[in-house]
Structure 1
Amino acid sequence: MSKPSLLFWKLFLAFWLATTLTFLVGVGVLELGRFRPGDPHVQTILAAQERLLQQFGVEAAGQLLSVWEHPPDEAIGVYDSAGQLLAGLPVAQPVYERAVISKDGRTLSIRSTHAPDERGRPWPHTPLLIGTLMSALFSGYMAYYLAWPLAYLRRAMSDAAQGRFETRVKPAMGKRRDEIVDLAEDCDRMANQLKVLVQAQQHLLHDISHELRSPLTRLRAAIGLLRQDATRLEMLERIERESERMDTLIEALLTLARLQGRPESIEREPVDIVELLAMIVEDAQFEAGIKGCRVQLQACPPFIAYASGELLYRCFENVIRNAVRYTRPGTTVRVSAQISEDASRLRVQITDQGPGIEDCRLQSIFQPFERGVGDTSVGFGLGLAIAARAVHMHGGNIAARNEAGGGLTVEIDLHSARSLHDITLA
């Protein structure tokens, strides 16, 4: 077992000190209230003596003192002006003395060995109140001591999750020295390493894509020259198809690399998502007609979002074309758009009538180069990956599920953000 850390000792000593001080202060207040010289019981007797002497005389005052069960160290006596004891017990060294005019007009004095306390006894819940207040102060301090650095850490993790790796936590900790500062330093180191890795990946994709473009351009030029020889047309057509396929792959890689950058690097403008869907469905009808199926749109009122129209177009186009590719001939691909009750979110569902996919692959199909069994000759496995990146960049969600009657549904959830700040917070 490792030895206790610095943060452990801070917490232990702080709570131990709070508990100890609460107990000691509470006990101290009780003891002071018990042994202080003032006694409200003596105060009651002295007040009664004064009233009896004024209204009934010395005899009534003496009867009260004769039946009073006084403590051994307490004594009250009534004296005349000559110092003669008239009632009660003798008081050699009075702590309290008060002159009173009796009923018969004589000036008498009431003497006591204890002084009355005009304030009375302390409130019985005072120790509890003091303990509660001190515990609240210490707890508040400890909560602040622990909460504010964790809030910085949470903000840094959120920034890193959104691709902003420049946020640093350790400088905000000041001169603090404990395990939380070590955690902040590790967090900063992690963010910097993630930044390096992401930039390296983006540069790699970008460099590969551009390096592939150069031989592809020369290949197309060579195809143009070879077309002059009619005996090689079949071979040239195959080469041309493969070059177009390579060009499509490069374009998809460039788009994917761009989507893996910062959200703020994408230009945004107000876009009507429903109108965008209508355009895509209209274009997809041609491809669906060749296969013998159709695409149906169940639209809703216009939904304006602050977004990149180009990226969302690619997103919905990839998903809808993917659905058309896998749906059975003679069936319908349903595209539905629904606005939430508060008009802040739009839910788009694309459902095909195909074979669906394995449940274990419902998440992995949104990863790059992920294709189904037997699909190696169709596409590159980048369409759904691009769609997922585009949706996440706009603060939305995308998910897939198999339908009970067969087929696959891809659900896309977007919000009507009006600014980049709203997108960041989404």
Structure 2
Amino acid sequence: MGQVFWKFLLAFWGALILAGTLVWAVNEVSRSTDDAAKPVWIGPQLRLVLGSAQLMMDSGGIQLLGDVLQRWEDDPMSRDKVLLLNQQGDDYLQREVPEHWAELLKEQPEYKVQDKTGQSWFLLAVPRHEFLLDWLRSGRGMAQASLSTQPTQKSIEPRGLEPPFDYKKSPRGIMPMPPIWFHPAFLLAAILGTSLLVSFWLAWYFASPVRQLKQALQSLASDHWLTQLGPKVTGRRDEFGAVARSFNQMAQSVEQAISGQRRLLHDVSHEFRSPLARLQILVGLARQTPSESAMVLDKVEAETQKLNALVEEILTYSRLESGAAAVKLQQVDLLELLESVAEDGRLEALSQHKQLLVKADTKVQVQADPDLLYRALENLIRNAIKFTAADTQVTVELQQQEQQVQIKISDQGPGVAHADVAKLFTPFFRGQSKKDGVGLGLSIAKRAVESCGGELQLHNLYAASGIACGFQAVIVLPLVLKT
């Protein structure tokens, strides 16, 4: 168990002990602030005590009653001190009596019993204000009480009802030994043990998720990216559960980022391998057939241009992904920018016996980087021209809504497998297509649109019969509000 557990344990245990001590102290102070001169017996208790005292007085005289009161005081379980006072205010057991108690005897005549000679004796009970001191020496007091001598009065049989125990056989002479679980030492041990168990459970309850989180972080630091905290921690409905769930999400994000980096490195290596291999073949041909060196050099130049384009796309994607690209936002006339892209797209479409149609009713202004937005539109339109069927058209619609504008680019091609739609933004993913390209165009377009504060959506188009009849890319951009 770590240091956090022991800190929690000591803190909880100390708090419980302190709280118990404060409760005891407040109780003792409240008892001590009461009028100590007033007896604590009232009602039925008063009649029972006085009746029992008079019974003892009639049976054994003042000596028996005094012996019982002495044993009462010696009993560590008794919290009240009972004084037996004569009419002058002197205690029979020669204990110290407050000065004003003599006056109290005149005001409390009901607290008296009479001996055989007719002399009145007064019984007054007062809480023990020195209870802590009495409790600390309770073990010695009980031992002394259990070894005390029997009453000097012999063969005394109390009149009236028989007591619920045989006082002559009791080792105390008058009162039986209290059970062990009433002993203050036993009670103290029980209180400390219970508080320790409660503190142990609380410390374990709070320290356990901290320990598991620490182990998970150490595992994550050791490159175990799939580390996850179990449901015992994530299922908690407190802050520890929230932290555990956040940790699992963070670990998943880190794992996805690491996996993406590894996949990107693998894909980049794969994309470079083919053109480099072709360059090596062309160099070999040039050496074997010097007469065809001009043709070989043209092919080398073409492969070099492909490599340069690949490197440029990788660098562009990397800058957009990391946020290092210099984004220059400004007001852009979207219709004008769209017509500029469509002008080059129409020529490419005509060369493939296809058409490009732009539908736009009004001019709109957006806040965007014109170069990044141009590149995204160009990529999406060229993709649509590439995949639409021959003798069909690609439609580009510009629609203005409340506070945003949508650019819908639709083709009439075969569409994309439903399972692959979500993967189209993954770098170097080309799905089932075998056409030219490295699979970075859509990834770059998505990052470019997001850099302009917009969103790029992709989905298949379906006919009324439910058959796929094309594919559509939707760019959503916020409008520039006119002031």
**Range of TM-score over shorter length:** 0.3 to 0.5
CA radius of gyration, larger in: 2
TM-score by length of 2: 0.41
Q: Tell me the TM-score normalised to structure 1 length.
A: 0.46
